[in-house]
Amino acid sequence: MRELKAGIIGLGVGEQHIIGYDAHPHCRTVAICDIDAAKLAEVGARHPHCRQTTDPSDVFADPDIDIVSICSYDDAHGGQIVAALNAGKHVFVEKPLCVTRAELDAIRTAHARHPNLKLSSNLVLRRSPRFLDLRARIQAGDLGDLYLLEADYNYGRLHKLTEGWRGRVPNYSVMLGGGVHMIDLLLWLTGDRVEEVAAFGTGLATRDSAFQGDDTRIAILRFASGALGKIGANYPCVYPHHHKVAVYGTHATFENNVDGALLFKSRDPSVPPARIQTAYPGVAKHALIAGFIDSVLGQGAPDVEPEEIFACMDTCLRIDEAVAQSAD
């Protein structure tokens, strides 16, 4: 089997991608790119087998490279995905896929033009043992018919918004930047489709900081099945980084909170819930990369298919559009 060659753009979480590609027996990272020369040199010193460049176009133009991993700031993803697809590369991109509807349309067009190229996104919660277990229980019917699903992205790392690039890039969205994980989680857990959204946002908690957008957004969703959903992207919370999830079904209720996971099977207060002992989050940032490489090699499907990313992104963008409308 031939060896695939990968190029990585953006070397924060991107270093985890290097580790993921290099761990696969039929792939290795050959090039790394960062616009910050000091960062490039620092990460390059730990991975001396990789060519180094500060120009992403060098990666797209390199005929040696089969796969491009995009781990730059959110607002650079859209243009880099289209450039990589048009250069004939398979693309694995960090979340969010992009930040505007025009970019989403351009990515769909470029992907449709190159249907043989794989495109996936790093929605890692799908590999968390806690949520894999929950999905298996839902699919087995243990929770009955689902009628309400709540998922909060409690960031717990406010400094990254008020001091880092997230506060500096134009129109940073907490729903695209964090809520995206929870929207994908609910779509993947249920196999459902979002039909309608209502949403609000506030920047109250960070109004005196350098960050001037909404630090918190919440949305109510109506799924095609008739179930309701609630999504929160809560960046200022005084809370450890956590994915708070509650799934209410007609037979049982599942809850993931900071103390662990509980499964309630009775309304009787004297019947304690079952404590679920799965690892949480229990997933490395490069956990989806082996499956992506296998899919490029024609051996199975990636964890996240393009149509799933497009549906998730459409919901994120609809939420942000609803917030903009509510603010008018």
Ligand X SMILES: NC(=O)c1ccc[n+]([C@@H]2O[C@H](COP(=O)([O-])OP(=O)(O)OC[C@H]3O[C@@H](n4cnc5c(N)ncnc54)[C@H](O)[C@@H]3O)[C@@H](O)[C@H]2O)c1
Kindly indicate which of the ranges 9-17, 18-26, 129-137, 229-237 contains the residues binding ligand X, using the contact rule CB under 6 A.
9-17
Among 36, 105, 163, 196, binds ligand X (CB under 6 A): 36
Site for ligand X in 201-240 (CB under 6 A): none
Per-residue binding string, ligand X, 75-104, x by CB under 6 A, is: -x-----------------xx---------
Task: Give the chain's count of helices (H) and strands (E).
Answer: 11, 14
Crossing angle of the two packed helices 14-23 and 289-296, in degrees rounded to 10? 60
Report in angstroms how near the CB of residue 191 gets to ligand X at its nearest: 22
How many Å apart are CA 120 and CA 111, to the nearest integer?
11
Asked if 107 interacts with ligand X (CB under 6 A), we say: no
Asked if 35 interacts with ligand X (CB under 6 A), we say: yes
Residues 6+ apart with CB under 8 A from 188: 123, 126, 135, 308
**Dihedrals φ, ψ of 78, to 5°?**
-55, -55
Kindly indicate which of the ranges 4-12, 106-114, 200-208, 304-312 contains the residues binding ligand X, using the contact rule CB under 6 A.
4-12
Instruction: Tell me how far CA of residue 103 lies from CA of 4, 58, 80, 99, 110, in angstroms.
Output: 28, 22, 10, 7, 10
How many Å apart are CA 47 and CA 15, to the nearest integer?
9
Among 3, 13, 191, 224, binds ligand X (CB under 6 A): 13
Asked if 72 interacts with ligand X (CB under 6 A), we say: yes
Asked if 124 interacts with ligand X (CB under 6 A), we say: yes
Report in angstroms how near the CB of residue 256 gets to ligand X at its nearest: 17
Among 6, 9, 81, 91, binds ligand X (CB under 6 A): 9
Kindly indicate which of the ranges 3-11, 107-115, 235-243, 264-272 contains the residues binding ligand X, using the contact rule CB under 6 A.
3-11
Size of the site for ligand X (CB under 6 A): 23
Asked if 33 interacts with ligand X (CB under 6 A), we say: yes
**Dihedrals φ, ψ of 141, to 5°?**
85, 10
Burial annotation 181-207 (CB, 10 A radius, 16+ → b, else e)? bbbbbbbbbbebebeebebebebebbe
**Cα maximum dimension of the chain:** 66
Report in angstroms how near the CB of residue 31 gets to ligand X at its nearest: 12
Residue 17 in contact with residue 92, Cβ under 8 Å?
yes
Among 52, 53, 69, 122, binds ligand X (CB under 6 A): 122
β-sheet bridge partners, residue 152: 232, 244
Asked if 169 interacts with ligand X (CB under 6 A), we say: no
Kindly indicate which of the ranges 69-77, 82-90, 150-158, 242-250 contains the residues binding ligand X, using the contact rule CB under 6 A.
69-77
